Amino acid sequence: MIEELTPNKTSPQNVRLASRGLGNGLGLVLLLALVIRLTLLAGNIVDHPWFFFQDLEEVEEEISSTEEPYMNAYGFEASNIAHAWVCADQGFSSPFGGATGPTAWIAPGVVVLYAISFALWGCFTFKSILCGFAIALVVSLITTAAVFRIGERVGGDPNVGFLAALFFACLPFEAWIFQIAGHLDFNLQVLWFAVLLLAILRAMDSDRPISGLELGAVSAVAALFNPGLILGTAVGSIFVIRGRRWRETGRFVLYLAGAHVVILGPYVAFQSVRLGGFVPVKSNAGFELFIGNTPEARGVLQNVAFQAYHPSQNATEFVTYSAIGEIEYLRDAERRFREDFEIGEFLRFTVRRTFYFFLAYQVKPWDSSPFVSAVKAAMWAVPVLSLVALVAVRRKRLSAAEGAMLLFTLAYVAPYLLTGVMERYRITIVPTVAVVLALLTWTAIKSWRQR
């Protein structure tokens, strides 16, 4: 796909930071992003009062049940763990309600958002839910600024950075989380996807071996929100060490690995001892592999598969999970996957996963008309079409920064193509989509000016 990578031109000396064009409009873009998201949030509160104003006595009664699983639309498993941690004094446990014992089902970084809101304002109160959105709003603005820097470095021009930030602020993907009632990780994964990509680009521009320590620290923290991002770090590191001497490469890798051990090691060790089995940040990778490849899912994580197999929705699975504990339950899921594995079926599901991740849109009950569904389907196709368009426009001569960005994005996607996909997983790659659209737009503007 990529025949040749032209030299990296993202370094600060090649970026015209003195430009007084579009690059100086970041503040206006941030203001626009803020207005859009606050408007959507206001509409969300009006449209979904049940989500923001919950019956707290009913919530406590249902979340304490030992016979039925409980899922709250504000956080699902993450908020259940935060409730057990902050409000029930159970520690990091009980992802499906009840009192089911220690867990590593959800990455800890995601749980922290809910734990903060609960610790400040009480569990599932209006103020705590609003606090979660306030944190997400700050995260959104930080991500917009990070996208500006990514665009600036990849495009070698602050004008590209401005356009990338503008696309990110306005595209109906990350922004739309402020309009919907039902959240797990809000936009935290989008933030760390963007910050990690920016760290990789910075490391590519640095000759200092210590850049491995900086990239490793960012990567390790990102892994506390989504351990799959480490795969993106591995891909990005190939671009960082390209052309370096062996000694420099060795020092970079040593610093990179050391940062991961220091930051992730204590949590991994703590959870592994607690649960009685090795926990690589999240424990449920084997379960995701199992449920995503069941006949009900066929590669796509839909309600029918959750209702059949997931302890968050199936009472029998919940009771089993509670009785045998998380590690044994997950080992059993891995066993079921191995016993039922068929290579032909797995490959068919992988093709289906790829299609659904990049192109498909599942019509929702609340879509008001076929036209609305068609518009949404077209918008969901924008990410992959934009990536293909960039490769086509560059005629397979991508810059090193462009190649690193695209391969980093594909590295994020890869694990989901083996397990199961959901529409919300695509939101994470919006920073790349925004930068690609900016590159295409700026290329078109420059071509038009040269006529």
**CB atoms inside a 10 Å sphere around CB 366:** 6
Given a contact cutoff of 8 angstroms between Cβ atoms, the answer to whether 38 and 45 are in contact is no
Please check whether residue 219 lies inside any domain of the structure. Answer: yes
Read off the tokens for 204.
């590519």
Kindly report the backbone phi and psi dihedral angles of residue 5, in degrees, each rounded to the nearest multiple of 5, phi listed first.
Answer: -105, 115
Please check whether residue 451 lies inside any domain of the structure. Answer: no
Closest CA to 144 of 450, 438, 422: 438
The residue range of the domain holding 59 is: 7-445
**Quick one: angle between helices 188-204 and 211-223, nearest 10?**
170
Four-point Cα dihedral 372, 374, 379, 380, nearest 10: 110
Please check whether residue 279 lies inside any domain of the structure. Answer: yes
In whole angstroms, what is the distance from residue 380 CA to residue 358 CA?
Answer: 8
**CB atoms inside a 10 Å sphere around CB 21:** 11
**CB atoms inside a 10 Å sphere around CB 392:** 10
Number of domains observed in the structure of the chain? 1
Please check whether residue 1 lies inside any domain of the structure. Answer: no
Q: What is the DSSP string of 159-173?
A: HHHHHHHHHHHHSTT
pLDDT in tens, the chain (451 residues): 444 455 444 444 444 443 444 545 899 999 999 999 999 999 999 999 999 999 999 999 999 999 999 999 999 999 999 999 999 999 999 999 999 999 999 999 999 999 999 999 999 999 999 999 999 999 999 999 999 999 999 999 999 999 999 999 999 899 999 998 888 788 999 999 999 999 999 999 988 878 999 999 999 999 999 999 999 999 999 999 998 888 899 999 999 999 999 999 999 999 999 999 999 999 999 999 999 999 999 999 989 999 999 999 999 999 999 999 999 999 999 999 999 999 999 999 999 999 999 988 876 666 667 877 888 778 888 888 999 999 999 876 899 999 999 999 999 999 999 999 988 899 999 999 999 999 999 999 988 887 7
Closest CA to 434 of 445, 442, 446: 442
Burial grade of 15 (CB within 10 A; 0-12, 13-18, 19 or more): buried
Closest CA to 376 of 423, 319, 334, 437: 423
Q: What is the DSSP string of 247-297?
A: HHHHHHHHHHHHHHHHHHHHHHHHHHHHHTS--SS-STHHHHHHHHTSTTT
Please check whether residue 427 lies inside any domain of the structure. Answer: yes
Given a contact cutoff of 8 angstroms between Cβ atoms, the answer to whether 380 and 358 are in contact is no
Please check whether residue 176 lies inside any domain of the structure. Answer: yes
Q: What is the DSSP string of 48-86?
A: -HHHHS--HHHHHHHHT-SSS----TBTTHHHHHHIIII
Kindly report the backbone phi and psi dihedral angles of residue 309, in degrees, each rounded to the nearest multiple of 5, phi listed first.
Answer: -130, -15
pTM: 0.93
Residue 399: its H or E element? strand 397-399
Please check whether residue 350 lies inside any domain of the structure. Answer: yes
Strand partners, 183: 74
Strand partners, 397: 4
Kindly report the backbone phi and psi dihedral angles of residue 241, in degrees, each rounded to the nearest multiple of 5, phi listed first.
Answer: -90, -5
**CB atoms inside a 10 Å sphere around CB 136:** 23
Four-point Cα dihedral 126, 130, 131, 133, nearest 10: 150
Please check whether residue 141 lies inside any domain of the structure. Answer: yes
In whole angstroms, what is the distance from residue 264 CA to residue 237 CA?
Answer: 18
Please count the helices (runs of H) and the strands (runs of E) in the chain.
Answer: 19, 2
Given a contact cutoff of 8 angstroms between Cβ atoms, the answer to whether 406 and 394 are in contact is no
